[in-house]
Amino acid sequence: MKRIGILTSGGDSPGMNAAICGAVIAAEQRNIEVIGVRNGFDGLLEEQFLPLSSSRVRGINSLGGTILGTSRSDRFLLPEWRRRVPDTLSSTGIDGLIVIGGNGSLRGAMALEEAGIPTVGIPGTIDNDLGGTDFTLGFITAAETAVKAVRRLTDVALSERGIFFVEVMGRNSGYIAMFVGLATGADFVNIPEAPATSEEIYTKISQAEGSAIVIWAEGCGDPSPLAEWLREELNRDIEISRIGHLQRGGTPATLDSFLGFTMGAAALYTISEGRHSIMIGTRNLQPVEVPYEVAIEPNPLPPYLQSMLLPLLNSR
Amino acid sequence: MKRIGILTSGGDSPGMNAAICGAVIAAEQRNIEVIGVRNGFDGLLEEQFLPLSSSRVRGINSLGGTILGTSRSDRFLLPEWRRRVPDTLSSTGIDGLIVIGGNGSLRGAMALEEAGIPTVGIPGTIDNDLGGTDFTLGFITAAETAVKAVRRLTDVALSERGIFFVEVMGRNSGYIAMFVGLATGADFVNIPEAPATSEEIYTKISQAEGSAIVIWAEGCGDPSPLAEWLREELNRDIEISRIGHLQRGGTPATLDSFLGFTMGAAALYTISEGRHSIMIGTRNLQPVEVPYEVAIEPNPLPPYLQSMLLPLLNSR
Amino acid sequence: MKRIGILTSGGDSPGMNAAICGAVIAAEQRNIEVIGVRNGFDGLLEEQFLPLSSSRVRGINSLGGTILGTSRSDRFLLPEWRRRVPDTLSSTGIDGLIVIGGNGSLRGAMALEEAGIPTVGIPGTIDNDLGGTDFTLGFITAAETAVKAVRRLTDVALSERGIFFVEVMGRNSGYIAMFVGLATGADFVNIPEAPATSEEIYTKISQAEGSAIVIWAEGCGDPSPLAEWLREELNRDIEISRIGHLQRGGTPATLDSFLGFTMGAAALYTISEGRHSIMIGTRNLQPVEVPYEVAIEPNPLPPYLQSMLLPLLNSR
Amino acid sequence: MKRIGILTSGGDSPGMNAAICGAVIAAEQRNIEVIGVRNGFDGLLEEQFLPLSSSRVRGINSLGGTILGTSRSDRFLLPEWRRRVPDTLSSTGIDGLIVIGGNGSLRGAMALEEAGIPTVGIPGTIDNDLGGTDFTLGFITAAETAVKAVRRLTDVALSERGIFFVEVMGRNSGYIAMFVGLATGADFVNIPEAPATSEEIYTKISQAEGSAIVIWAEGCGDPSPLAEWLREELNRDIEISRIGHLQRGGTPATLDSFLGFTMGAAALYTISEGRHSIMIGTRNLQPVEVPYEVAIEPNPLPPYLQSMLLPLLNSR
């Protein structure tokens, strides 16, 4: 392979830039050219290409977001659009594509494989919900951001003996909520894999004489009605704090920058050596090659976390 | 004076602990005893006293919140409650009181003065809305927290070419919003002192081809209707992010720890030398004595910020 | 088991407090009492005991250092001292001991096992040099601290077109250096597992027209003579920055707080269920039980990092 | 004025980029062109010019270092070099120059004034050693960096009951040391304005049963001999930690970004309105115009800090 494309797709997540950097530096070593595709699959359709060199990617390891931009393309789902991609790529001499993103992005890569384009994926999503990998890029940074917010709110809660519900990201996955809850020693954690009943939360909160912090994964629904009910039952003030989109931004945590660079280089090696239809995961701090079919399987919470530590936190 | 009480009142703010530390260390130098009063004016009524020593306050400079707890006492407003305070204090030998808090807390201190109790105030509020001082404790930490959140959101906005309204604290004051807007180079800042019209915001946002960040002080009302209108007019996604209570927590910024210690020591010196009915402010990095009447006056935004820099940001 | 001791030993590392917290909370669930031993093995000899409860450990997850104190005991190496421990423990009713520390601390625990005391270890060291675990507590926090320092130095280096040697911790292990180098995209990384020659470093640095950052693990010796030689050869200013002990302090990174709590609870479960002579490691974000013999084996750098990414960074 | 040059000179300091940003945005409002000069006065001699626009400076507020690069030019001190500048500037149509830097840089600007070139200065140095201003750009960020390092070291010191000497920047000024000492509640602060005797430090340290932190401004000389003497006298381990150059880097603290933008805009207004030979300072959070003669005067520590708080910290 002489020329490889790279794009970031879906929600941006910290570590994507490090992955771009790792791929570009590994490519230069092998005399391969890397072409950045701007704005995800949208840019692929619109031929928004940006040649990348090691001097261009210098220092981007430490930048949040993605220098290539991203999109949540709807058009790409239309067969007539997607069908055009092979011609676009062959006309620019791009022999294969590295796709950085989450579940939907990997499915896009699988569709390109069906159209005959070799692709390798890199897990870029804060949700940590892909199979075959210990970490997805951005997860630890997002958890760190949420932990810092909870630590700040804990200062306030302790000073005012207040009760806070803190909504963290995770539509289908309790990974961020569990990490935040255990890292901060929160009083209760509610996750979509095993949502608590109102009574369980009431029981726990009603015992709190002073402050209490409830970590609430967004996949558990809107906490407002429960908070309203608790306000009346307990005659106490209950605040809801939504951390929101800022969990997806910021300078990457060291682990995400490290994994990003590592995975980017591994993706380049993998695709340039002719292996594809593969996501680069990480196990034991090394890259591993994960077939797409495994990668897009849901990544359940480790059993120990869900069956041992969740009840330990919530019922103490 | 042989024994002085100290309390924190109203919303907690970073730097309060440093002020407690400074007062205790200055008191030991002068062989004065400091008695902490827990939970603000509530604790004064309920005689929740906690003797403080330099070993007890060691290291608290770096802690958010207040080790004494705080309250937003309603009872204290009732004359019959407040009338009991002089007896309580004289029975415990407390000769004067240092009150750390915002406008309402200083008014509480003024009421105690009327009852014959010498008090000295320390400005502890994130709003920077007290007269006679460059900074109130907690303001710079709150602004820093908001700036960090906006920097994270900017990563997301740039990657997705999105528009974010970021609501920061400030019910009556645009201080936090102006600092955040200027420090981050935001696209628009809306402050309660000079709220923008919908048309002004529309004009600015409609020119943004890529991302845009609007800093919105909470005193400007709920941004949701405007965002909804802009969504329809511009056919673009517009996210609202509320940073919320976490602005009041966290390890104090260096300036707040520094000013807190400085003001705490100065308050102790002032009250122990017989001067009172005074808030300790800061000018040119030194403590100054500000009469309560001046301190409780609103602290307007510096004219240069409002008349020169606000239009510069918003109309470019 | 009804009563279990817990101590921290060797250099303190971020996450130790979270491990203490996890053990105490898991113990309360099982009606087991946890007795903290102050100042490591020294405190064991001197019977410095501190009963721990869940209210005592509340919030310590977020604190750096160790609330129990630590020591690098020499006396403990003397058989006559160590021999006294079983009597001390049985007289206080302590049935087993959780030991949090690095290689030397685990060897201390093994000595106690030989004396008939059941122990379970938790890997607490910033060096990530224990076998059978993906992470030791404190490693990621230390790497994060070093990365933040390198990012600051990079700002300076870029502005002044300067060359910086940055010495990071790691007497026998290049883990921190490799993580820092890859996460920051440094120009060169020197590790004790495969120390570079002066010529290799000269070659790389002499090509840098602008700034350059060299990450230097302390196990590679003093960089001063090399820097001096390069200064003369290249006629450029070369600064050496030693990050030093502060790598061992600070609020734990989220991963360390999470792993600490997880390992602390797992250690309590393990010892209370009768399994011992075991270190709790972590694999795939779950605790695993690692025999001491495996744990004290050196933990080499993952081959991919050393054989693929190290040359990629250094020879580009 | 139609075209104004801007340069950064001397050691880089956080907030310089925000000042560039503020000047460029204010210039666009007035239809003035801003030309960046790369690498300080060196770049002026070598005509390294870079036109700046608001799109070019977008987002630089949050970046450490200076996008223009800097230098500590020796050549500029030679009259024959400096004499060439007016021709260079007039040939490129540059009517005036904004100079961002410390004392030496302002002296360079004064030399240009003598050669007939209108200049306005902005105080960019971490030392806070310029007259007529509460803050120089970078000072608060540097203090924050040092405070974070001391907080980390305090965790270690407390855990190990150790004694740390922490050397912070400040060759002629104790500003950083005093801010760090007061903000962290250090045990001793040594500043060049009033260096302590060995006996004073011995007395204080010898009373510390547990840990102790000594903040040492680099202007007080090398602490190694004293530490060596104390090691022998006290039979305790004493570590020296030098924070070093990283104090000059990093994302600017909010106050520095805010002040930078504010001063940059004010400098542009000032020079374009015909006033020059002036440094823009800040008082009460507003820009003020300070004659160069006042600005280059030493800026002593506020008397209250030196005469009241320094002895309070050191003799308690």
* Contact by Cβ (8 Å): D168, D176: yes
Q: Tell me, letter by letter, the H, E, C secondary structure of A35-101.
A: EEECCHHHHHHCCCEEEECHHHHCCHHHCCCCCCCCCCCCHHHCHHHHHCHHHHHHHHCCCEEEEEE
What are φ and ψ of residue C206, in 5° steps? -65, -20
| Domain presence at residue C306 | no
The residue type of D126 is: I
Express each pLDDT in D90-149 by its tens digit.
999 999 999 999 999 999 999 999 999 999 999 999 999 999 999 999 999 999 999 999
Please give, rounded to a whole number of angstroms, the shortest distance from the CA of A67 to a CA of chain B: 7
Does A160 sit within 8 Å of B12, measured CB to CB?
yes
| Domain presence at residue B302 | no
In chain B, which residue's Cα lies nearest the Cα of D213?
B59
Q: In terms of domains, do C161 and C129 share one?
A: no
pLDDT, residue B300, reads 94
Helices D254-272 + D16-29 axis angle, to 10: 40
Helix locations, chain D, DSSP H: 16-29, 40-45, 54-57, 79-92, 103-114, 139-160, 175-184, 198-207, 224-234, 254-272, 292-295, 303, 310-315
pLDDT, residue D80, reads 83
Q: In terms of domains, do C286 and C150 share one?
A: no
Q: In terms of domains, do D113 and D163 share one?
A: no
Q: CATH code at A77?
A: 3.40.50.450
| Domain presence at residue A224 | yes
Q: In terms of domains, do D128 and D256 share one?
A: yes
**Residue where one domain finishes, among candidates A217, A248, A279:** A248
| Domain presence at residue C260 | yes
**Banded pLDDT at B316 (limits 50, 70, 90):** confident
A83's tokens? 């069908």
pLDDT, residue B134, reads 97
Does A147 sit within 8 Å of C265, measured CB to CB?
no
Secondary-structure percent of chain B, ordered helix, strand, coil, rounded to 5: 45, 20, 35
Q: Which of C12, C63, C159 sits opposite D160 (nearest CB)?
A: C12
* Contact by Cβ (8 Å): A269, B264: no
In chain C, which residue's Cα lies nearest the Cα of D210?
C69
| Domain presence at residue B13 | yes
Has residue B259 got a pLDDT over 90?
yes
Express each pLDDT in B45-64 by its tens digit.
889 999 999 999 999 999 99
Does B249 sit within 8 Å of A65, measured CB to CB?
no
C304 vs A contacts (CB less than 8 Å): 262, 266, 286-287
pLDDT, residue D202, reads 96
In chain D, which residue's Cα lies nearest the Cα of B20?
D185
Name the residues of B annotated as catalytic: 127
Write the CB contacts of C5 (distance below 8 Å, at least 6 apart in sequence): C34, C35, C36, C37, C44, C49, C89, C94, C96, C97, C98
Sheet-wide strand order for A49-52: A49-52, A33-37, A3-8, A96-101, A119-123, A278-283, A286-291
pLDDT, residue B74, reads 75
Has residue A82 got a pLDDT over 90?
no
**Banded pLDDT at A243 (limits 50, 70, 90):** very high
> How far apart (Å, rounded) are the C-alpha atoms in residues D288 and D291?
10
pLDDT, residue D208, reads 85
Q: In terms of domains, do C244 and C263 share one?
A: no
B70 vs A contacts (CB less than 8 Å): 159-160
Please tell me which chains touch B, using 3 or more CB pairs under 8 Å as the contact test.
Answer: A, D
Q: In terms of domains, do A125 and A25 share one?
A: yes
Please give, rounded to a whole number of angstroms, the shortest distance from the CA of B146 to a CA of chain D: 9
**Residue where one domain finishes, among candidates C229, C248, C267:** C248
As a whole number, mean pLDDT of residues C170-177 equals 96
**Banded pLDDT at B233 (limits 50, 70, 90):** very high
> How far apart (Å, rounded) are the C-alpha atoms in residues C250 and A33?
42
pLDDT, residue D144, reads 98
> How far apart (Å, rounded) are the C-alpha atoms in residues A78 and A42?
12
Has residue A79 got a pLDDT over 80?
yes
Q: In terms of domains, do A181 and A152 share one?
A: yes
pLDDT, residue B209, reads 80
D196's tokens? 């302590």
As a whole number, mean pLDDT of residues C48-70 equals 95
User: Domain range holding C199?
Assistant: 140-248
What are C168's strand-pairing partners?
C217
Does A287 sit within 8 Å of C261, measured CB to CB?
no
Write the CB contacts of A104 (distance below 8 Å, at least 6 apart in sequence): A9, A10, A72
| Helix or strand run (H / E) with residue A310 | helix A310-315
Has residue A186 got a pLDDT over 90?
yes
Q: Which of B149, B151, B244 sits opposite A241 (nearest CB)?
A: B244
> How far apart (Å, rounded) are the C-alpha atoms in residues D261 and B313?
11
Q: Which of D65, D149, D159 sits opposite C69 (nearest CB)?
A: D159
Has residue A74 got a pLDDT over 90?
no
pLDDT, residue A176, reads 98
C184 vs A contacts (CB less than 8 Å): 61-62, 257
DSSP for D166-201? EEES-SS--HHHHHHHHHHT-SEEE-TTSPPPHHHH
As a whole number, mean pLDDT of residues B211-220 equals 97
Which of C32, C176, C254 to probe the A interface (max A CBs under 10 A)?
C254
Residue C231, phi-psi category: left (phi > 0), alpha (psi -120 to 50), beta (remainder):
alpha
| Domain presence at residue C77 | yes
Q: Which of A58, A61, A147 sits opposite C254 (nearest CB)?
A: A147
pLDDT, residue D74, reads 75
Q: CATH code at B148?
A: 3.40.50.460
Q: Which of D156, D158, D249 sits opposite C153 (nearest CB)?
A: D249
D152 vs C contacts (CB less than 8 Å): 64, 145, 246-250
Name the residues of C annotated as catalytic: 127
Alpha carbon A82 to its chain centroid, in Å, reads 25
pLDDT, residue A304, reads 96
Cα four-point dihedral sign D144, D150, D152, D154: negative
Q: In terms of domains, do C134 and C12 share one?
A: yes
Distances (CA, A) of A83 to A106, A107, A111, A114, B313: 17, 15, 10, 10, 45
| Domain presence at residue C303 | no
**Banded pLDDT at C73 (limits 50, 70, 90):** confident
Cα four-point dihedral sign B265, B266, B267, B270: positive
Has residue A21 got a pLDDT over 90?
yes
Q: In terms of domains, do B160 and B261 share one?
A: no
Q: In terms of domains, do C199 and C291 share one?
A: no
As a whole number, mean pLDDT of residues A248-268 equals 98
> How far apart (Å, rounded) are the C-alpha atoms in residues A165 and A170?
15
Catalytic-role residue among D127, D129, D187, D256: D127
| Domain presence at residue A132 | yes
The rounded percent of chain C whose pLDDT value lies above 90 is 91
Q: Which of D66, D156, D246 sits opposite C65 (nearest CB)?
A: D156
> Which of D204, D208, D179, D207 lies closest to D191 in space, CA to CA?
D179
> How far apart (Å, rounded) are the C-alpha atoms in residues A47 and C140?
40
Looking at per-residue pLDDT, the higher value among A75 and A309 belongs to A309
Please give, rounded to a whole number of angstroms, the shortest distance from the CA of B83 to a CA of chain D: 37
Residues of chain D predicted below pLDDT 50: none
C-D C-beta contacts closer than 8 Å: 107
Express each pLDDT in B20-38 by its tens digit.
999 999 999 999 999 999 9
Alpha carbon A250 to its chain centroid, in Å, reads 13
Please give, rounded to a whole number of angstroms, the shortest distance from the CA of D99 to a CA of chain C: 16
Count of CB atoms situated within 10 Å of the CB of C186: 23
Express each pLDDT in B62-95 by its tens digit.
999 999 999 987 778 788 888 889 998 999 999 9
Please tell me which chains touch A, using 3 or more CB pairs under 8 Å as the contact test.
Answer: B, C
The rounded percent of chain B whose pLDDT value lies above 90 is 92
Has residue B179 got a pLDDT over 90?
yes
Has residue A37 got a pLDDT over 90?
yes
The residue type of A262 is: T
Total domains present in chain B:
2
Express each pLDDT in A279-296 by its tens digit.
999 999 999 999 999 999
Has residue C266 got a pLDDT over 80?
yes
Please give, rounded to a whole number of angstroms, the shortest distance from the CA of C197 to a CA of chain D: 26
> Which of C149, D303, B291 lies closest to A62 in space, CA to CA?
C149
Write the CB contacts of C95 (distance below 8 Å, at least 6 apart in sequence): C1, C2, C3, C4, C89, C118
Residue C185, phi-psi category: left (phi > 0), alpha (psi -120 to 50), beta (remainder):
left
Sheet-wide strand order for D163-168: D188-190, D212-217, D163-168, D238-242
Count of CB atoms situated within 10 Å of the CB of C274: 9
As a whole number, mean pLDDT of residues B165-192 equals 97
**Residue where one domain finishes, among candidates A221, A248, A275:** A248
Q: Tell me, letter by letter, the H, E, C secondary structure of B186-219.
A: CCEEECCCCCCCHHHHHHHHHCCCCCEEEEEEHH
Q: In terms of domains, do C100 and C132 share one?
A: yes
ipTM of the complex: 0.96
B-D C-beta contacts closer than 8 Å: 147
> How far apart (Å, rounded) are the C-alpha atoms in residues C137 and D78?
56
Interface of chain B toward chain A, CB-CB under 8 angstroms: 8, 11-12, 14, 39, 63-66, 69-71, 145, 148-149, 151-156, 158-161, 164, 239, 241-242, 244-250
The residue type of A189 is: V
Q: In terms of domains, do B185 and B233 share one?
A: yes
Does A284 sit within 8 Å of C302, measured CB to CB?
yes
Please give, rounded to a whole number of angstroms, the shortest distance from the CA of B84 to a CA of chain A: 24
